[in-house]
Structure 1
Amino acid sequence: MIGRSMPRLAHQTRRHVLLLLERCGDLLGGERFALVVIGAGVGVVSGLAAVALVLLVRAVNSLTWTATLSVDDVVPTDALGSHAVSSLPAWWPLLVVPAGMLGVVALTRWFAPEASGHGVPEVMASIAQKNGLMRGRVGVIKLLASALNIGTGGAVGKEGPIVQVGAAFGSVCSRWLGLRGRHMRTLVGCGTAAGIAAVFNAPIGGVLFALEIVLGAYNVSAFAPVLIASVAGAVTARRLLGTESAFAIPEALKQGLTITSLWELVSYALMGLIFGLVSVAFVRLLYAVEDRSHRWSVSPWLKALLAGLIVAAIGMGLPAVLGEGHHMMTEVLVDNGARFGLGALLLLGLAKTAATVLTLAGGGSGGVFAPSLYVGAMLGGAYGLAMHSVFPDAIGPSGAYALAGMAALLAGTAHAPMTAILLMFEMSDNYLIILPLMTVSVLATVVAQKLMPDSIYSLGLSRRGIVLRDREDTALLKHLRVADAMGPKPETIPEATTFDRIVRRLMLSEQHDLPVVDAHGRVTGAVSFSDVREFLRDEGLDQLLLARDCAREVTTLAPNDTLLEALHTFDQHPLHEIPVLAEGRPVGSLRRDDVLSTYRRALMAAARQG
């Protein structure tokens, strides 16, 4: 009886919610207001999910490294090697880390295969292929698997999991309310923004992460719901976890975290260029090892076990690379080289890279966002120490370079400079660092995009042939063909047309250019008034000069060319109209206005379909 009444109760609840939203929308601004209200609700729930993830990670961390159950922020290891928990044997990571990896494989294989991996690419794929449609189960399994993986020492982060958890709830909420298409995509973005805002206490960064990386566009209609959701998620997390910034930097140190001289500007610019290269190397290594793992035809259980053992072995020598490494990043930011030398920082950065790559290749569940921040902090700090040793009077503290390194590697790997700049600004609560962040983030992104068009999140999807929403306009132009937009067959003139008839035809024609055709009807060139103007004052040319003599080389298109190729052609050649040829013969003509009107019609049709 109770089982049969539950669907009826859910249906009635949904009907009442929709009715309430419709009435509120009529009073306060239509469907946009309703979407803002729903987005706020998604933000609150995603914020609660982020809090749950943080507490679960702490609980698993405490249980496995201290043998006590606690949700306090436990740090199982110190920075350079000796275990903070002295009662544990040195081989303890060899038991805990592989056990966590095997647990993750069990959860993902048995309940939700989509919950393995980074998290963010899976959300982007769902938006590109299914308009954001995701299974609700994915969010729950992702939450549990990632908490287990991170808490037991897997070298991954919380941002990927919470993005997938928040996005899954946004998708489920949208489906429950009967929303589809762009509305569902917007609510997926709301869950994403709220999750990032809650985990990192960075509401502005959450909005930019959702728009710049996940949704891939600064959509005006999506901005308000995503913004409100991000605020709701951050407020929820602050209420339950506190209001402290992600990285607590002493006030005395903040004064040194800015550009103080021209030499330091050059230093940061050079750093941005170098970190662009490092970003490309990081992404390519990650996918190269994952590819090798996928091609290795052994049991996933064995892969997880071996990867866990190697990560644990790395952690036995350098425990600071296990887990997220948040405390280690904070120490490097405030240390300024007093404790960590250049060699130690480089070693930690390389070791963290190896541990992260192996964790994900072995089937782990977690994000690459936090590891990129960690590696950026270590290598940035090392760069700062190196520059300070060469120019001691012109270079600021290494902590500033560690923070800039975090932004540079995030921007270079994610191809998202605005997200990197504002997220690091919010996480450090320091406006003075904004100039170095802008310098390194933009230059790292420029270098990385030049060498690698895809980001760390989109590369795997692009190789699977998935067209992302951040290229929606381009994808539509690639889908449309010149044949869809071209006008009627253009007027032509034969090669043997005399000069006087050329001038007369040009004066009577509405076309700017007249294609010149041979005896078989194939285009050999084109003439316009600019081509014949120099001959107008010369008498006696009326019957002597022929069309073939004054024709110039003509730019053409084919019916099967894409409208994107056509636009590139118009950009390269200042033409009013381009003839469209099939087997050399004109079958139509294309104007720039034809391209834009066809694109506009296709865009409206896509919007009507959701």
Structure 2
Amino acid sequence: MSFIDSLRLRLGSVDSLLLLALVGLASGILAGASNILFRLFTESGIVLWHPKTEAGDFEGLPWELRLGMPIIGGLLVGVFLQKLSKHRRSVGVGHVLERMAFHQGYLSLKNAFVQFFVGGLSLASGMSVGREGPGVHLGAASASWLGQKLKLPNNSIRTLVGCGSAAAISASFNTPLAGVIFAMEVIMMEYTISSFIPIILASVMGAVLSRMVFGHAVAFDVPSLELTSLWEMPYFLLMGVIIGCFASLFIASTTAVTRKTFHWPVWIKCSLSGVAVGLIAIGIPQVMGIGYDSVNASLHGEYGLMLLVLCLVAKFFATVACSGMSMPGGVIGPSFFMGAMAGAIIGFIGNLFFPEHASSYPFYAMVGMATMMSAVLQAPLAALMALLELTSNPGIILPGMFSVVVANLMVSQVFKQQSIFHSLMKAKGMEFKFNPLTQFLRRVAVAGAMDRSVAVHDRNIRLLDVAQILENQPRWILIREDNVPVYLMSGNDLARFMVELESREEPMPDSLDLLKIPAERQNVSAVYLQATLEEVLDSLERDNTDAAYVFRTTAPLTEKIYGVVTRKRLESYYTYKPIKKSS
């Protein structure tokens, strides 16, 4: 067995943490680099659009450009996407979740290239989208590509997708811990040591690369603020209720637009998104682009109440138009924007009525950012970690926890909404169901569960070959017919038959037919060496078989068989058998 093959088999077993950590580190480098290139591309694109203003400063443009840029950008993106096949248009975090749910984390680089260019054009033209969604797609795709090139087991590729996603968030916001939690909570939807450590290393590398290029500053310029009084805590509860209602409205509205326009031509949808953003931007240019400059302005108390309200309402409609009509961009940045504005409005009103007990409204804006992000993504822990890392203020976590949890409860329990990603997947006809058993089986590769004590032979076998096979005491005999494995029988059954044959007072035959000797035989399915136990169970159910042989194609029309896994062995991984006590 080659060294690479042995590594692949090790990665399929439970003691592969060190190897997986090293591959995760490499995937973090790739994901961080891809996000840095994307950010440089989008910012250079903005400079090309209007060289007389700073990157992202759409407010300084004349109204003609604010109207025209999104319209032209939306049309260009739509025409480009229209020329692609349907499966090549799929981009963003939703695409990553789809590939994780239905394709074991296999992401195509072609879709990533599409995301890079159309996502960059969308941001450069001022569409109301964020750069984090495209960044997560690019990071996940680059990590998945690495796993596919190394032909790693599918459970390892799934972990690498989490690594790439963590590195992307870490590089975007300069928040390595939030990147880890985002990957576990939103992409992987589980917390396990075997995936936690590689994802941490990948997130660290994403932050390191980002700081080497863009410096140590986090995404937002956050002032140092403190909670004024514990009497504000009920008010933060009210903030959670209000933002939870607003987030539910945002999710429902975006989903409704997606469902309504799902069968429309892509170029029409993207063009309409551009028209909507352009018309809104004539009066409220803050809605254009990722809007981090506007978020920073609210964090420093530079906006009045009327402007805060206008920005919130305008961003809501602009983002619903873009996300609902499949504009290739993210919703995390717009969620931060809307949360900051909503929180600032709530803080502003609180200061008017209770000035002696209320903190300044920028404090509420910071909590509002995390609350809205958490409610829209249904990721409370990731939002809190982002809040902590962005502010470097442990004192903000207490009110943040209160507001975040209440908002999540409002969305999930009161309004019965899923996260924005799962809601949009459902609107597009992809029903995502969380199954704990499926999640568990996806963590284990068949290479770590298969029985490698197997001999492979054609149904007709010489007695001399039988003796050689039994000398190695195989547990299983995989029987081939027309060079295709069709049945699995126990090695003990063959040994027992040979003992009976030797005890007979009759001449020994020259050969045997393994399908005619008395033995219990099982029909077999075929599963690839990279498969997880979930894929094995799917194959057994689909083919109505009780065993599967594990193979890998080593050359054209040539297969190497590594082992077998039976339904009984598979069930032993997820069934509980109490230990019998001796009397």
TM-score by length of 1: 0.69
Residue of structure 1 aligned with 2:48, choices 63, 67, 70: 63
**Does residue 337 of structure 2 align to residue 356 of structure 1?**
no
In structure 2, the residue matched to 1:445 is 408
**Aligned residues of 1:379 and 1:405 also touching (Cα < 8 A):** yes
Q: Secondary structure at the match of 2:50?
A: helix
Q: State the AA in 2 paired with 1:76.
A: D
- Aligned-residue offset at 1:107: 3.7
Q: C-alpha distance in 1, partners of 2:163/2:428?
A: 26
Residue of structure 1 aligned with 2:95, choices 122, 145, 153: 122
**Aligned residues of 1:215 and 1:469 also touching (Cα < 8 A):** no
Q: State the AA in 2 paired with 1:309.
A: V
Q: C-alpha distance in 2, partners of 1:301/1:75?
A: 25
- Aligned-residue offset at 1:22: 7.7
Q: C-alpha distance in 2, partners of 1:142/1:391?
A: 47
Structure 1 residues 142, 429: closer, same or farther in 2, change over 3 A?
A: same
Q: State the AA in 2 paired with 1:257.
A: E
In structure 2, the residue matched to 1:200 is 173
**Does residue 266 of structure 2 align to residue 300 of structure 1?**
yes
In structure 2, the residue matched to 1:105 is 78
**Does residue 156 of structure 2 align to residue 183 of structure 1?**
yes
CA shift digits 1:465-502 (9 cap, x unpaired):
6464754438899xxxxxxxxxxxxxxxxxxxxxxxxx
Give the stretch that moved more between structures: 339-348 or 401-410.
Answer: 339-348
- Aligned-residue offset at 1:408: 0.9
Q: C-alpha distance in 2, partners of 1:19/1:286?
A: 47
In structure 2, the residue matched to 1:319 is 285
Q: C-alpha distance in 2, partners of 1:149/1:601?
A: 47
Q: C-alpha distance in 1, partners of 2:69/2:572?
A: 52
Q: C-alpha distance in 1, partners of 2:201/2:572?
A: 27
In structure 2, the residue matched to 1:240 is 213
- Aligned-residue offset at 1:215: 0.8
In structure 2, the residue matched to 1:287 is 255
Q: C-alpha distance in 2, partners of 1:428/1:378?
A: 17
Q: State the AA in 2 paired with 1:166.
A: G
Q: C-alpha distance in 1, partners of 2:83/2:49?
A: 23
Q: C-alpha distance in 2, partners of 1:150/1:112?
A: 23
CA shift digits 1:371-428 (9 cap, x unpaired):
0110111111011001110111010010011111111111111111100000121122
Q: Secondary structure at the match of 1:91?
A: helix
Structure 1 residues 245, 362: closer, same or farther in 2, change over 3 A?
A: same
In structure 1, the residue matched to 2:294 is 328
In structure 2, the residue matched to 1:77 is 58
CA shift digits 1:93-115 (9 cap, x unpaired):
23211221122224434346456
Q: C-alpha distance in 2, partners of 1:242/1:313?
A: 36
In structure 1, the residue matched to 2:494 is none
CA shift digits 1:574-599 (9 cap, x unpaired):
xxxxxxxxxxxxxxxxxxxxxxxx99
Q: C-alpha distance in 1, partners of 2:116/2:572?
A: 37
The 5 A counterparts of 1:312-461 are: 312-335=278-301, 339-450=302-413, 451-461=415-425
Q: C-alpha distance in 1, partners of 2:398/2:568?
A: 40
**Aligned residues of 2:130 and 2:331 also touching (Cα < 8 A):** yes
The 5 A counterparts of 1:203-218 are: 203-218=176-191
Q: C-alpha distance in 2, partners of 1:332/1:603?
A: 56
> Which runs of no fewer than 5 residues in structure 2 stay unpaired?
442-566, 576-583
Q: C-alpha distance in 2, partners of 1:244/1:97?
A: 29
- Aligned-residue offset at 1:37: 0.9
Q: State the AA in 1 paired with 2:17.
A: R
Aligned residues: 447
In structure 1, the residue matched to 2:471 is none
**Aligned residues of 2:127 and 2:322 also touching (Cα < 8 A):** yes
In structure 2, the residue matched to 1:173 is 146
Structure 1 residues 116, 279: closer, same or farther in 2, change over 3 A?
A: farther
Q: State the AA in 1 paired with 2:267.
A: W
Structure 1 residues 391, 415: closer, same or farther in 2, change over 3 A?
A: same
In structure 2, the residue matched to 1:588 is none
Q: C-alpha distance in 1, partners of 2:427/2:293?
A: 36
In terms of Rg, which structure is larger?
Answer: 1
CA shift digits 1:63-108 (9 cap, x unpaired):
112279xxxx613333xxxxx24xxx42112321122112222443
In structure 1, the residue matched to 2:226 is 257
Q: C-alpha distance in 2, partners of 1:349/1:304?
A: 22
**Aligned residues of 1:128 and 1:467 also touching (Cα < 8 A):** no
CA shift digits 1:12-57 (9 cap, x unpaired):
xxx88x48968999xxx95221111111111011111111111111
Q: Secondary structure at the match of 1:458?
A: helix
In structure 1, the residue matched to 2:534 is none
Structure 1 residues 107, 195: closer, same or farther in 2, change over 3 A?
A: farther
Structure 1 residues 117, 274: closer, same or farther in 2, change over 3 A?
A: farther
In structure 2, the residue matched to 1:604 is 573
Q: C-alpha distance in 2, partners of 1:53/1:114?
A: 22
Q: State the AA in 2 paired with 1:282.
A: F
- Aligned-residue offset at 1:289: 1.5
In structure 2, the residue matched to 1:268 is 236
**Aligned residues of 2:411 and 2:417 also touching (Cα < 8 A):** yes
Q: C-alpha distance in 2, partners of 1:464/1:360?
A: 13
Q: C-alpha distance in 1, partners of 2:22/2:10?
A: 10
Structure 1 residues 261, 605: closer, same or farther in 2, change over 3 A?
A: closer
**Aligned residues of 2:259 and 2:428 also touching (Cα < 8 A):** no
Q: C-alpha distance in 2, partners of 1:426/1:263?
A: 25
Q: State the AA in 2 paired with 1:103.
A: L
In structure 2, the residue matched to 1:503 is none
Structure 1 residues 224, 452: closer, same or farther in 2, change over 3 A?
A: same
Structure 1 residues 112, 172: closer, same or farther in 2, change over 3 A?
A: farther
In structure 2, the residue matched to 1:574 is none
Q: C-alpha distance in 1, partners of 2:289/2:317?
A: 13
Residue of structure 2 aligned with 1:48, choices 12, 25, 33: 33
Residue of structure 1 aligned with 2:124, choices 151, 160, 176: 151
- Aligned-residue offset at 1:290: 1.8
Q: C-alpha distance in 2, partners of 1:144/1:238?
A: 24
Relative to its length, the structure with more strand (as a share) is: 2
Structure 1 residues 62, 357: closer, same or farther in 2, change over 3 A?
A: same
The 5 A counterparts of 1:76-95 are: 76-78=57-59, 84-85=60-61, 89-95=62-68
Q: C-alpha distance in 2, partners of 1:473/1:154?
A: 41
**Aligned residues of 1:111 and 1:141 also touching (Cα < 8 A):** no
Q: State the AA in 2 paired with 1:264.
A: E
In structure 2, the residue matched to 1:3 is none
**Aligned residues of 1:107 and 1:141 also touching (Cα < 8 A):** no
Q: C-alpha distance in 2, partners of 1:184/1:24?
A: 14
Structure 1 residues 24, 441: closer, same or farther in 2, change over 3 A?
A: same
Q: C-alpha distance in 2, partners of 1:603/1:353?
A: 50
Q: Secondary structure at the match of 1:604?
A: coil
Q: Secondary structure at the match of 1:234?
A: helix
CA shift digits 1:553-610 (9 cap, x unpaired):
xxxxxxxxxxxxxxxxxxxxxxxxxxxxxxxxxxxxxxxxxxxxx999548389xxxx
- Aligned-residue offset at 1:457: 1.2
- Alignment root-mean-square deviation, CA: 2.8
